[in-house]
Amino acid sequence: MKPRPSPPHTSAAAEESFGHSPASINAWRRRTQAALDRGAQTPFYLFSPDSVIERTHTIENLNFGLPTTCWYSFKTQPLPPLVRHWVGLERPIEVVSEFELRAALASDCPPDRLLINGPAKHRWLPRFPIPGLRVNLDSLTELPPLLPMASQLGWRTGIRVRTSEEFDPENPSFPTQFGMEPEELPTALRQFRNAALEPETIHTHLRTNVSDPTCWTRALDVLRECCEANQWYPANIDLGGGLPAFTTRTRAGKPYTASFDPSLKSYAEHLRNALRPFVWAKTLWLEHGRHTCAESGLLAIRILDIKQKGPHRLLICDGGRTLHALVSIWEDHQLIPLKASTSPTTPAAVHGPTCMAFDQLGRRLLPSDVNIGDVLLWLDAGAYHLPWETRFSHGLCEVWWDAGNNNPTCERRAESFPESWILWQTTQQSGFGAKTRPLRQENHLDADGS
Ligand X SMILES: Cc1ncc(COP(=O)(O)O)c(C=O)c1O
Residues forming contacts to ligand X in the complex (CB under 6 A) are 73, 76, 94, 117, 205, 208, 240-243, 287-291
CA distances from 180 to 39, 164, 206, 230 (A): 50, 12, 13, 14
- SS3 category, 193: helix
Nearest residue to ligand X on Cβ basis: 241
Task: Please state the closest distance from residue 166 (CB atom) to ligand X, in A.
Answer: 10
Task: Please state the closest distance from residue 71 (CB atom) to ligand X, in A.
Answer: 8
Task: Pick the closer one to ligand X by CB: 100 or 398.
Answer: 100
Task: Pick the closer one to ligand X by CB: 241 or 319.
Answer: 241
174 contacts: CB under 8 Å, gap ≥ 6: 167, 168
Burial 359-368 (b: 16+ CB within 10 A, else e): bbbbbbbbbb
Task: Please state the closest distance from residue 260 (CB atom) to ligand X, in A.
Answer: 13
Task: Pick the closer one to ligand X by CB: 85 or 288.
Answer: 288
Task: Pick the closer one to ligand X by CB: 100 or 359.
Answer: 100
Task: Pick the closer one to ligand X by CB: 122 or 205.
Answer: 205
- Can you say how many angstroms the Cα of residue 160 is from the centroid of all Cα atoms in its chain? 19
Question: Euclidean distance between the first and final Cα of the chain, in Å?
Answer: 82
Task: Please state the closest distance from residue 90 (CB atom) to ligand X, in A.
Answer: 20
Cis previous bond, 43, omega within 30: yes
Task: Pick the closer one to ligand X by CB: 379 or 383.
Answer: 383
16 contacts: CB under 8 Å, gap ≥ 6: 22, 25
Answer for the pair 353, 43: CB distance below 8 angstroms, yes or no.
Answer: no
Task: Please state the closest distance from residue 349 (CB atom) to ligand X, in A.
Answer: 28
Task: Please state the closest distance from residue 149 (CB atom) to ligand X, in A.
Answer: 20
Rg (C-alpha) for the chain, rounded Å, is: 24
User: Which of 29, 15, 23 is CA-nearest to residue 345?
Assistant: 15
Task: Pick the closer one to ligand X by CB: 211 or 266.
Answer: 211
Task: Please state the closest distance from residue 246 (CB atom) to ligand X, in A.
Answer: 13
Task: Please state the closest distance from residue 214 (CB atom) to ligand X, in A.
Answer: 17
Task: Please state the closest distance from residue 162 (CB atom) to ligand X, in A.
Answer: 11
Task: Pick the closer one to ligand X by CB: 31 or 290.
Answer: 290
Burial 265-304 (b: 16+ CB within 10 A, else e): eebbbbbbebbeebeebeebbbbbbbbbbbbbbbbbbbbb
172 contacts: CB under 8 Å, gap ≥ 6: none
User: Which of 177, 286, 281 is CA-nearest to residue 223?
Assistant: 281
Task: Pick the closer one to ligand X by CB: 111 or 169.
Answer: 169
At 173, the amino acid letter reads S
- Can you say how many angstroms the Cα of residue 267 is from the centroid of all Cα atoms in its chain? 20
Local structure of residue 390 (DSSP, 8 states): -
CA distances from 446 to 124, 147, 449 (A): 12, 21, 5
